[in-house]
Structure 1
Amino acid sequence: MSNRAIIIMVLVLIGATAYLLIKGDGDIDMGGEKHGAEAAHMEDAKKDAPAAPAAAPAAPAADAKK
């Protein structure tokens, strides 16, 4: 494949990606990790979540060779 064909393919893919992002009505936030008031807080979801079932007791370990 020639360099010209590769450049054209890359430009087409960039254009298609931009079109889909703009027309897709997706709420895309490219701002990175959030801290502070704008961050999504998970504490409320944790309160409403059911408790995890208790783990079964572990099986006894095999006797070690002496």
Structure 2
Amino acid sequence: MPISSPTTAGEAPEELLAQVIEHVEHQGWRLDSVSTYGSAGSHYELPGYWALLVFRTAYEGRS
């Protein structure tokens, strides 16, 4: 998902990022990791930073 800066994704201060995480976790998943990537752009492209969100199931099965 797009973010404005790679340093902010781990803290999830962006409203959209927080909403996505909350929505997916409500569906029975939990956030496992966040990785960021992107570039500051060049003369030919706009800056683009992205966050890769990895979720794992919250289901633990029967004991």
Structure-1-length-normalised TM-score:
0.25
Q: Flag the structure with larger Rg.
A: 1
Structure with greater helix share of residues? 1
- The structure in which a higher percent of residues are strand is 2
